[in-house]
Amino acid sequence: MKALTLLFALALVSVTASAQTSDALPFVRTGHSAAREAMAGAGTVSGACDAWASFDNAALSAFGDNTLDAAVSYSSWAPSSGNLFAGGLTYRLGSKIGITAGAYYGLGKEYDVYSNEGIKKGTFTPTQMQFNLGMGYKLLPWLSLGANVHAATETLAEGASYKAFSGDLFLMGHMDSFKFAAGVVSLGTPVKSSTGTSYNLPSSVKLAGGYEDSFGGISCAVYTDLDYFFLASGFSASVGAELGWDEIASLRAGYHFASKNTPLPNYFSAGLGGRLLGFSLDAAVLLGGQLSGTVLVTLGYGF
């Protein structure tokens, strides 16, 4: 608990001390779970995203029926069509504690590099990396607290690398068919450019909720996520739904609305999922606007 208190204090200092000019490293808010992105990013409280708890809601790691949830994903986000790889892991210690970790590596679109004389020198591929570690603790049978820490870096050109450290804090409740969560996401250190200008991470206050139920082998769930990006004065809202059959197959869809100064624009989403013998395979596609044609595939395992 002392570690959670220290993280919260550091996060407040970071937010208070830094001046907002523009968001940096927006990829830290990019989703990697195909199940969740098929619902347009809604599902912060969804058990289908247990393996990915280290990317925002660590409180989710304290719930769940499995001892271990692990997943890997591949995605190609429009319009750059880069190749993005990620992995997540959640392990539960007893009935109260969940440990979660994750990593992400992204390759951007390759571009040509020229000398001052206009002669082509070669090519360069931008890269992005992120590493996460978090913990969830069940305060009550229906309430948990969780915190993550992240280290992220982005290299846009030779000699132009940027890095930042950040954290998330969440409270999550699970009562019968209802789930809810509230927290802060991506609170961290400012990023400085080569000119000394400071830029902040896309930090937000998040509220999330969900309703899950089943009827004779048919399951249904509805989720919503709301974010207010307080440093950028923007907000976004995601609504998604999932229809499942006998815990084997799932159909998902969603819509993401965003104002200006947020990491992602408006888009629709759809996807499918299947589960068998502890393994899961999920796919999602984003439709509309700049992100149209984005695809995600996730392979998971739990026991």
Give pLDDT tens digits for 208-255.
Answer: 999 999 988 899 999 999 999 988 889 999 999 999 998 899 999 999
Q: Hey, where are the domains in the chain?
A: 2-302
- pTM, whole model, 2 decimals? 0.86
DSSP one-letter code for 44:
T
- Which of 148, 111, 113, 116 is CA-nearest to residue 127? 111
**Arch. (CATH architecture) of 2-302:** Beta Barrel (2.40)
Burial state string for 253-273 with b = 16 or more CB within 10 A and e = fewer than 16: bbbbebeeebbbebbbbbbbb
Q: In terms of pLDDT, which residue wins out, 39 or 5? A: 39
Give pLDDT tens digits for 62-104.
Answer: 998 899 999 999 999 888 778 999 999 999 999 999 999 999 9
